[in-house]
Amino acid sequence: MTRAQDIVLPIAGQDTAHFDCVFPTCGGVCCKNGRPPVEEAENARIEQNLAKILPHMTEKARARVERDGFRTERKKEGLRALAVTDGWCVFHNEGCVLHKVGALEGDRWKYKPWRCIAFPLERTTDGAWHVRQWGVEGEAWDLFCLNPDESPKKATTTLTAELAFVRELDDGKEAWRFLTPADQPTPRPSMQAR
């Protein structure tokens, strides 16, 4: 079994940061007003699968998405962000709908934006990773889970999946997430299912 402390990846503050995800106890507060930016390939993947995602959404969120789409004109990092309804991400319904639909298909992160998967890990403007904490790198989000005094657990012991994911992201093993359907390589005829 891989342990977070065994994953070699330079992360600022990893030795001093504390973090403990208590979902579902918290109700998924990281999905409240979070508005993560969405890569064009992530947008295309969600758009292509919207018919199977919509039934899992709240009624208000579904109506908003059907009327105006699931992204806003608001931009972060030069990318359009996910929309919110009643202060929550449109894909929040007792947890992440994108996560749930992906899990039903055998890959819980298949449709989820990479920034949501990596949370609370975040890239700095110079490309380095850090654990989001109050007072670090100008962190303005006041989520209780980002308060290092809230948990005695070190981030290196609680973020195994997230650390493994960002490692694969940096190693290029998650490059498919950034390929739109038009960018996907066409399988050679010998490789196509017969």
Residue 184 located in a structural domain: no
Confidence at residue 183, expressed as pLDDT on a 0 to 100 scale: 67
Is the model's pLDDT at 3 over the cut of 60? no
Instruction: State the Cα–Cα distance between residues 83 and 35, nearest whole angstrom.
Output: 6
**Contact at 8 Å (CB) between 57 and 31?**
no
Residue with tokens 């390939």: 41
Residue 103 located in a structural domain: yes
pLDDT in tens, 33-83: 878 999 999 999 999 999 999 999 999 999 999 999 999 999 998 999 999
Residue 185 located in a structural domain: no
**45-60 core/surface letters (b: 16 or more CB in 10 A; e: else):** bbeebeeebeebbbee
Residues in Cβ contact with 89 at an 8 Å cutoff, skipping those fewer than 6 apart: 31, 32, 34, 35, 36, 82, 83, 96
3-state helix, strand, coil in the chain (%, to 5): 35, 15, 50
**Contact at 8 Å (CB) between 80 and 71?**
yes
Instruction: State the Cα–Cα distance between residues 130 and 117, nearest whole angstrom.
Output: 14
Confidence at residue 185, expressed as pLDDT on a 0 to 100 scale: 55
pLDDT in tens, 139-194: 888 888 888 888 888 888 898 899 889 988 888 888 888 877 666 654 444 433 43
Confidence at residue 172, expressed as pLDDT on a 0 to 100 scale: 83
Q: What's this model's pTM, rounded to 2 decimal places?
A: 0.84
Residue 117 located in a structural domain: yes
More confident residue, 185 or 125: 125
Confidence at residue 4, expressed as pLDDT on a 0 to 100 scale: 45
Residue 4 located in a structural domain: no
Residue 182 located in a structural domain: no
Main-chain dihedrals φ then ψ at residue 188, nearest 5 degrees: -65, 150
What's the token pair of residue 146?
A: 């980002």
The boundaries of the domain holding residue 141 are: 21-177
Count of domains for the chain: 1
Which among 11, 29, 37 is positioned nearest to 162, based on CA atoms? Answer: 11
Residue 183 located in a structural domain: no
Residue 5 located in a structural domain: no
**Contact at 8 Å (CB) between 172 and 179?**
no
